[in-house]
Amino acid sequence: MKTLLTLLVWALLLILCWPLAVLVLIAWPFLWLLSIPFRIVATVMEALLAFLRAVLFLPARLLGYRE
């Protein structure tokens, strides 16, 4: 559904302003490549926070607390 919506928005942009649509089509892979380091950092931060949560809740789990 998201892909179809993206395609429809791009087609509308192509009809209204084709140079901008072509620029978006060319720039999109470069923007995707630039976002990769931020995705890696976000994954590492999520893993770190999950580890910290596990360490902080370890005493409660050892004492038998269950959610």
Distances in Å between the Cα of 56 and the Cα atoms of 5, 16, 27, 40, 66 are: 43, 55, 44, 24, 14
Q: What is the pTM of this model?
A: 0.62
Query: Which portions of the chain are predicted below pLDDT 70?
Result: 67
Q: What is the pLDDT of residue 67?
A: 67
Q: Which two tokens stand for residue 23?
A: 């620029």
Q: What is the tens place of the pLDDT at every residue in 14-26?
A: 899 989 888 988 9
